[in-house]
Structure 1
Amino acid sequence: MEFSCKFLAIFLAITILTVTRTLGNSNVPQKFVDRIQKSNHTNNWAVLVDASRFWFNYRHVANVLSIYRSVKRLGIPDSQIILMLADDMACNPRNSRPAQVFNNANQHLNVYGDDVEVDYRGYDVTVENFVRLLTGRTVNGTARSKKLLTDAGSNVLIYLTGHGGDGFLKFQDSEEITSQELADAIEQMWEKKRYNELFFMVDTCQAASLYEKFTSPNILAVASSLVGEDSLSHHVDPSIGVYMIDRYTYYALEFLEKVQVNSQKTMGEFLKVCPKRVCISTVGVRKDLFNRDPDKVLITDFFGGVRPTKILSDPIDIEFTPEKTFEEVNINIPLEGAKPSYNFPSQFASELFD
């Protein structure tokens, strides 16, 4: 019996490996390939982190606020975005335009806006709070809005920007998170079923070193520079004397601004947004842990909050008319003369816990 079980396990492993390697083969039915490549996530979340303080790091705040604006525009609600800003540039006394943050010298768009919801601000942006957030181990009394309430059906975007080096990212210029700590936190997320797929995006010097230790499945990662390379800023605004945005994020946003909620643009296209001739640094990509072809993954699978919908062209009559019985309009009258009660699907599956 033990030999038979081992033989069966080996046979299944070989079968799965064969199917995986031949997905691109014309002999495999296209419907099967499409089903494998289709996302089965049910919700989208974003964790956006600026880890730098001080006025000369203005561009890092502009980076993260620009990504924040993009994911909100594409449908992820504030309730599913965790925004961490290590410094408040909008209220900095050096800011000649109070309550405003711009990502270009033309001052075309105030990315701080009127409805920015910052979840962690200033000295609350720490390595401990970031790791607690990812792993779901927030301290008692933490507001619900400050928790990453993901599940096994969640696609999660993690965007980090700041100052980094080989294997670390600085927080507040006083502490660091290492690539191993990041990998451990994401491994806990996977073990605790806190994500379906994860897109890790980081804009910092030697950014690719931060995803080298990842071993958890279903992770697609992109970094603004390889190990040994610096990530560069894009342009300066002479009126405030600081750089406005980093080069990689600038070109990523240029791409995202052309994306609409019904767009067919893919993650494969997004991974190519900043070639070395414009980025100067070499963009790093890691996709060996990801089980789908990025060229067939919609960008809204991570940057949007789009849900599958069914569009009906015919009008729906929801009014009660004498020609229809109570049963046809889903109304029950338990006793003669009693008011009808409407049956709605329960919001919570409480019957599962009886």
Structure 2
Amino acid sequence: MSKICCLKLFICYVFLNLIFVDTDAFDIPEGFEKSNHTNNWAVLVDTSRFWFNYRHVANVLSIYRSVKRLGIPDSQIILMISDDMACNPRNPRPATIFNNAHEQINVYGDDVEVDYRGYEVSVENFVRLLTGRVPPDTPRSKRLLTDEGSNILIYLTGHGGDGFLKFQDSEEITSQELADALEQMWQKRRYNEIFFIIDTCQASSMYEKFYSPNILATASSLVGEDSLSHHVDSAIGVYIIDRYTYYVLEFLENVHPNSHKTMSEFLSVCPKHACISTVGVRQDLFKRDPRKVPITDFFGSVRPIIITTDPIDIIEIPKRNKNTENKTTNVVQKRMYLPQFPVHLIPSS
């Protein structure tokens, strides 16, 4: 047998071993687990009305505060709130919403941007938002302008049951309708990955029908279980936060933009002895291992950085010449409008 034939046999042997090698014997490089998303969005929805549902507004505003703190800008957050508890006549502290009895943090804050409020929070508007089927005159702030590079956090809170979530006690979205809306998003290339969170009774029933890829889902309770409130603020007179969201926020308060915490840690933040309900998780549609997915892939924001070795010239702006004329002239000049464009910065041709 010639040397060339022996070499060919050896190459074939090596090739076959590479194909049938036991991949479990090797650690997958960390780089393979990194997301290839290019932007982050959040859709945060409170679906209930009336003063006694104060806790649901506190839930959604607390998540809103967390994602903003971790880097997702308001322009990429869709906030839907059915009722304005801050301005409710029963609120003993107008223009405030608290998520704990110590009242340390006013989650309503000074810069809350509500995109859908009151009766705008409906099943139709929610589905249109997800699928992009909004009327042409819809302003940018009410559009989910995602693409195939978008990681989306979807958080829902309110009242629900086995296979449905109520909107304002007048209508409901079913688990099948929600699953079909997410499939439309996938077919229209409106997301890269989705992290779906729902805090309501029998919450896990809402993700059972999902069939689209790249979705990681968690719920505050399993089918047949109630999702319970955490504590009452006696000054306000109602429950002010749900148990699951309370422990989620306790976890998120210790997360920073450069955190190494993983999605696996997030999925176990509320054990049954704390939540009293069983937290559900569905990860069969999600390609990556949650133990190797940083939490900032969904709760943070991509921060593009441009690295350059080229020098950057900073042009020194010339100072305006001081006027040496009399005081009367100075008074007249103070009342004159400044030029619309800084003419002294425009290079002369």
Q: Name the TM-score, length of structure 1 as normaliser.
A: 0.81
Correspondence list, 1:203-218, <5 A: 203-218=199-214
**Partner of residue 154, structure 2:** 158
Determine if contact 1:223/1:285 at 8 Å carries over to the other structure.
yes
Q: Does 1:42 align with 2:54?
A: no
Q: Decide which of 38, 48, 52 is 1:52's aligned counterpart.
A: 48
Matched, 1:224 2:224: no
Answer whether contact 2:260 2:294 (CA < 8 A) is retained: yes
- Report the counterpart of residue 303 of structure 1 in structure 2: 299
Residue aligning to 2:337: none
Q: What is the distance in 2 between the residues matched to 1:133 and 1:101? A: 26
**Is residue 266–residue 295 contact of structure 1 (8 Å, CA) maintained in 2?**
yes
1:76 shift after superposition: 0.3
Structure-2 separation of matches of 1:76 and 1:255: 18
Give, in whole Å, the separation in 1 of the partners of 2:282 and 2:296: 19
Q: CA deviation at 1:144?
A: 0.8
What residue number does 1:65 align with? 61
- Determine which structure has more spread, i.e. the larger CA radius of gyration: 2
Where does residue 93 of structure 2 map in the other structure?
Answer: 97
Alpha-carbon offset, residue 140 of structure 1: 2.7
Query: For the residues of structure 2 that align with 1:233 and 1:22, how far apart are their CA atoms?
Result: 48
Q: In the alignment, does 2:278 pair up with 1:282? A: yes
Structure 1: unaligned runs, 5 residues or longer: 1-14, 321-338, 342-354
How far apart are residue 142 of structure 1 and its match? 0.9
Cα displacement (A) at 1:240: 1.4
- C-alpha distance 318-101 of structure 1, shift in aligned 2 (>3 A): same
Alignment CA distance shift 1:265-1:23 (3 Å)? farther
Write the mapping of 1:1-354 to structure 2, written as runs, cut at 5 A.
24-26=24-26, 30=28, 33-307=29-303, 309=305, 316-319=311-314
Instruction: Give yes or no for contact 1:90–1:112 (8 Å, CA) kept in 2.
Output: yes
How many angstroms does 1:318 deviate by?
Answer: 2.5
Aligned equivalents of 2:186, 2:274: Cα separation in 1: 35
Instruction: Report SS of the residue matched to 2:125.
Output: helix
The separation in 2 between residues aligned to 1:114 and 1:24, in whole angstroms, is 52
Contact 1:187 1:216 in 2 (8 A): yes
3-state SS of paired residue (1:63): helix
Asked if 1 retains the 8 angstrom alpha-carbon contact of 2:87 and 2:94, the reply is: yes
Report how many residues are paired. Answer: 303
Structure 2: tracts of 5 or more residues without a match: 1-15, 316-346
Question: CA separation in 2, counterparts of 1:211 and 1:23?
Answer: 31
CA offsets 1:305-328 (integer angstroms, 9 cap, x no match)? 13254678x9944358xxxxxxxx
- 8 Å CA contact retained: 2:38, 2:302: no
Q: Percent identity?
A: 75
Maintained 8 Å contact 1:151/1:194: yes
CA distance in 1, matches of 2:61, 2:23: 39
Is the 8 Å Cα contact of residues 261 and 306 (structure 1) preserved in structure 2? no
Structure 1 residue aligned with 2:330? none
Between the aligned partners of 2:57 and 2:295, the Cα distance in structure 1 is 23
Query: Contact 1:132–1:138 at 8 Å: present in 2 too?
Result: yes
DSSP 3-state at the match of 2:25:
coil
